[in-house]
Amino acid sequence: MKKRIIVIGGSAAGPKAASRARRLDENAEITIFQKASDLSMASCGYPYYVGGLFDDRSQLLCSPAGVVRDAKFFWNAKKINTKVLTEVTSIDRKQKKIEFTDLTTGETGTAAYDKLVIATGSNARKPPVPGVELEGITTLQSLSDADYLRKIRDEGVIKKAVVIGGGLIGIETLEALHFAGIDITLVELLPQLLTFLDKHMARLVEKYVQTKANVILQNGVASFLGENGKLKAVKLQDGTEIPCDLAVVAIGVTPNNKLAKEAGLNIGETGGILVDEYMQTSDPDIYAIGDCVEIPHLITHKPVHAPFGDLANLQGRVAGENLIAGNVVKFPGTIQTGICKVFDYGVGSTGLSEQNALKLGYTNIETVVNASLDKPGFMNGNLLITKLVADKQTGKILGAQVIGPGDVSKQVAIWAMAIKGNFSVDDMVNADLPYAPPFSLAIDHSIATAHIMQNKLKGLFTGISAEQLKDKLKNRDPMLLLDVRNPNEFEETRLGIGERLIPLGQLRNRLGELPEDKNREIITWCKISLRGYEAALILQANGYSNVKVLEGGIAAWPWSRQK
């Protein structure tokens, strides 16, 4: 008998599961019910469409070969029946059927299944404050949101907007609206942007974003103010009013678990539908995938809601195979790898940040910050700044954050695989990565980062983070601050925190200028702290016992500089 498969949700995870099922069973009857009017939308591409990086909207719906994935495509290419603008309103698990409403005609109907897949995605949060229903307030969650914002861009009338929320989507929206020539204020409730980053790394991003938009931290929306039903200003909790005609709310998403909950399926502690490693729910005939589920974090083993497009597709593939073949393939979980483009910067992370690790009770950790180019200067190399987190005892890599105009994606991918493979720092120090000048340094930035971490773990390198140095400055600790760059570099830019300049090449001959007290704390740095490290070694060899290198040097200093 033909297997009847129903998939609820037709964007990322749902169609992937349906397509995989079709590839494994030519005879199954497969139907996708989709509430929205389109199928297989590339939501991750919305910000770039809004910002005008491309103009052809249909590209958001295309297969990699450039074919629009509409109902005809699904039927002709995959023999998958699709019902768009059709909302599934309930699941009857006893009778194994669903109830649906055609949103165009209002007609209702039922359909029977042998296996059901729930891929209903997530809902964008909105702040429960007065005025939230005014015209001019939107999220960037659906294709119709993207259409709305793209229209605003094309009309060019709106000149001021507020983006609420400094997460991935908030930042991507900020970029898109900036490209549309709109003046933007970003408002974030927390003391930092992009909470997957440690504060210091986030501060570097914030400093960069501030060159493009006004950024307000630690302030939330109190209300939206309007005139004649239209947004006119955003009022913040501290009373500030920001005049604007557009506000984009990007304060996170929650799993769309409504159908599953009403059907009595088990829901997890994050609100995501509870699934096992086969993506099977508490009902063996129902699978759930994508943004609507919770999955295990592979480092902490705690459940997380991880609303990422790549994970949705991978889970779809697993569920598609399992519902045809019986539970034969597994989706193990996530290490929460993510990346976003922030103008000319990439910003990405994988695994645990230092802040998260500490919050989760990992006390025995070590971190390093490394700044260097992604490839040689003669190949127009660009800066990368990486913060690596490892277990002090075992050297096991726990997390990496990478930012900068360099090739961030490659770096994050390397660390993601290292974490997935359970690698320690020692496994990474001689990693055999591809090298040629157009692509990398002879010792890739990732491996150099592992070298610094290994030195630190062996006690061969003592670093100090920018934040620790800032604290010491606040406490007026009696330190000698030593910039070891060349005078012309020093003239061009310097931290201006009371440092002395002794170029590395002169250091051995000018030791007499240093304090006689060999226990005096000395902090050394240069542009990226490679020369700073060499200076520290010279000082240590000459008996100075308390020398630290400012990690990442001037490049990773997230506060203002004197020049």
Ligand X SMILES: Cc1cc2nc3c(=O)[nH]c(=O)nc-3n(C[C@H](O)[C@H](O)[C@H](O)COP(=O)(O)OP(=O)(O)OC[C@H]3O[C@@H](n4cnc5c(N)ncnc54)[C@H](O)[C@@H]3O)c2cc1C
What does the alpha-carbon distance between residue 306 and residue 308 come to, in Å, rounded to a whole number? 6
Give helix 71-78 / helix 13-24 axis angle, nearest 10°: 20
Q: What angle do CA 125, 128, 134 make, to 5 degrees?
A: 90
| Binding residue for ligand X, selected from 34, 280, 349, 372, defined by CB under 6 A | 34
Residues in 76-105 at the binding interface with ligand X, rule: CB under 6 A: 87-88
Q: Which is nearer to ligand X, 63 or 545 (CB)?
A: 63
The stretch among 43-51, 345-353, 387-395, 410-418 that binds ligand X (CB under 6 A) is 43-51
Is 14 a residue that touches ligand X (CB under 6 A)? yes
Backbone angles phi, psi at 413, to 5 degrees: -65, -40
Is 461 a residue that touches ligand X (CB under 6 A)? no
Is 33 a residue that touches ligand X (CB under 6 A)? yes
Is 121 a residue that touches ligand X (CB under 6 A)? yes
| Binding residue for ligand X, selected from 6, 7, 9, 244, defined by CB under 6 A | 9
Is 308 a residue that touches ligand X (CB under 6 A)? yes
Which pair of tokens denotes residue 164?
Answer: 């609420």
| Binding residue for ligand X, selected from 18, 20, 28, 35, defined by CB under 6 A | 35
Is 215 a residue that touches ligand X (CB under 6 A)? no
Q: Which is nearer to ligand X, 162 or 480 (CB)?
A: 162
3-state secondary structure 188-250: CCCCCCCCCCCHHHHHHHHHHHCCCCEEECCCCEEEEEEECCEEEEEEECCCCEEECCEEEEC
The nearest distance, CB 116 to ligand X, in angstroms, is 12
Q: Which is nearer to ligand X, 41 or 369 (CB)?
A: 41
Residues in 237-256 at the binding interface with ligand X, rule: CB under 6 A: 256
What does the alpha-carbon distance between residue 266 and residue 461 come to, in Å, rounded to a whole number? 50
Give strand ranges (E) for 343-435.
345-351, 365-373, 383-391, 397-404
The stretch among 6-14, 105-113, 323-331, 447-455 that binds ligand X (CB under 6 A) is 6-14
| Binding residue for ligand X, selected from 247, 259, 260, 484, defined by CB under 6 A | 259
The nearest distance, CB 8 to ligand X, in angstroms, is 5
Q: Which is nearer to ligand X, 273 or 384 (CB)?
A: 273
| Binding residue for ligand X, selected from 107, 241, 310, 471, defined by CB under 6 A | 310
> Would residue 351 be called left, alpha or beta, if left means φ above 0 and alpha means ψ between -120 and 50 degrees?
left
Is 140 a residue that touches ligand X (CB under 6 A)? yes
Is 22 a residue that touches ligand X (CB under 6 A)? no
What does the alpha-carbon distance between residue 509 and residue 297 come to, in Å, rounded to a whole number? 53
Kindly list the distances between the CA atom of residue 271 and the CA atoms of 256, 279, 311, in Å, as whole numbers in the listed order.
8, 16, 17
Kindly list the distances between the CA atom of residue 24 and the CA atoms of 13, 18, 281, 319, in Å, as whole numbers in the listed order.
17, 10, 21, 12
Which pair of tokens denotes residue 392?
Answer: 């002090």
Is 120 a residue that touches ligand X (CB under 6 A)? yes
Is 353 a residue that touches ligand X (CB under 6 A)? no
Size of the site for ligand X (CB under 6 A): 33
The nearest distance, CB 536 to ligand X, in angstroms, is 40
Residue with the closest Cβ to ligand X? 290
Residues in 144-183 at the binding interface with ligand X, rule: CB under 6 A: 169
Is 8 a residue that touches ligand X (CB under 6 A)? yes
* Cα torsion angle, 526, 195, 374, 211, sign: negative
Residue with tokens 């989760």, as numbered in its chain: 360
| Binding residue for ligand X, selected from 18, 30, 36, 414, defined by CB under 6 A | 36
The nearest distance, CB 195 to ligand X, in angstroms, is 16
End-to-end CA distance of the chain: 76
The nearest distance, CB 236 to ligand X, in angstroms, is 24
Cβ–Cβ < 8 Å for 106, 278? no
What does the alpha-carbon distance between residue 305 and residue 336 come to, in Å, rounded to a whole number? 10
Rule CB under 6 A: which residues touch ligand X? 8-14, 33-36, 43-44, 46-47, 87-88, 119-122, 140-141, 169, 256, 259, 290-291, 307-310, 312
